[in-house]
Amino acid sequence: MPPDAPLIELRDVALTLDGRRVLDGVDLAATERRIGIVGRNGSGKSTLIRVIAGLIAPDRGQARVGGVDVAHDRKRAVGVVGMLFQNPDHQIIFPTIEEEIAFGLTQQGRSKSEAARAVAAILSRFDKAHWAGAAVHTLSQGQKQLVCLMAVLAMEPAVILLDEPLSGLDIPTRMQLGRYLDAAPATLVHVSHDPDALTGYERVIWLDAGRIKQDGPAARVLAAYGAEMRRAGGRDDLSDLAG
């Protein structure tokens, strides 16, 4: 990949699910390290970051991260992009914390001993060496989300996609995990309904009905989005939902 090439590149991405056009003509060339995505319920935010993760192939256009065609080169995709979901219970599949963190590392092709070393390193970086053999089901939601974050960070992806991972957590837990995310060396693409979570971001993309409505500096886009949401909130907006 040329040194000045965008880390994330979407070209004319379109996707139809169950006969409904969910993404339509989305273009994105991103070099920024902190990118927010906002938009109303159903505007296509989660679908868009699943496309960037390579979890869904668009039916038109292409998504590349770090030069990798993420939907079609899954082996390399797991090395360049990681994801955190809103509910850690949808992400965690192993009974113990060390098994959970090791899984992604072995998926990347690391040997068992390399993976074990990386698990120990990430646990000790977060002062959680004592968690290694603990059962995941004994943890709180915030602690489970921290396990997911450690698992993603251990894989050292260039891009971490965040699908509202802080929204179900109490304020102190949200603040603490937010600080860990802010300090992450990776590029972050963060879907959030909370404009405060995106303050200080370099770029925000506003999705509306599967298309980019605004794309620019966070302060400008969040102000326009906030004003529009307050206008919509003043109306009987839900009556429009059925179409």
Interface with ligand ATP by CB under 6 A: which residues?
17-18, 20, 22, 39, 41-47
Contact at 8 Å (CB) between 148 and 165?
A: yes
Q: How far apart (Å, rounded) are the C-alpha atoms in residues 34 and 200?
A: 8
- Tell me the closest approach of the beta carbon of residue 43 to ligand ATP, in angstroms: 4
Query: Looking at beta carbons only, is 44 or 66 nearer to ligand ATP?
Result: 44
Q: In sequence order, what DSSP letters do the residues of 66-96 get, joined into one string?
A: TTEETTT-HHHHHHHEEEE-S-GGGT--SSB
- Extract the tokens encoding 233: 């909130």
Using CA atoms, how far residue 58 sits from 47, 64, 103, 163, 240, in Å, is 10, 12, 27, 18, 28
Query: Looking at beta carbons only, is 4 or 18 nearer to ligand ATP?
Result: 18
Query: Looking at beta carbons only, is 90 or 112 nearer to ligand ATP?
Result: 90
- Tell me the closest approach of the beta carbon of residue 18 to ligand ATP, in angstroms: 4
Query: Looking at beta carbons only, is 57 or 132 nearer to ligand ATP?
Result: 57
Task: Tell me which residue has tokens 């089901």.
Answer: 137
**Rounded-to-10 torsion of CA 10, 13, 17, 20:** 130
- Tell me the closest approach of the beta carbon of residue 164 to ligand ATP, in angstroms: 7
Q: How far apart (Å, rounded) are the C-alpha atoms in residues 199 and 172?
A: 17
Query: Looking at beta carbons only, is 117 or 237 nearer to ligand ATP?
Result: 237
Q: How far apart (Å, rounded) are the C-alpha atoms in residues 143 and 135?
A: 12
134 Rama class: left (phi>0) / alpha (psi -120 to 50) / beta? beta
Query: Looking at beta carbons only, is 53 or 102 nearer to ligand ATP?
Result: 53
- Tell me the closest approach of the beta carbon of residue 26 to ligand ATP, in angstroms: 12
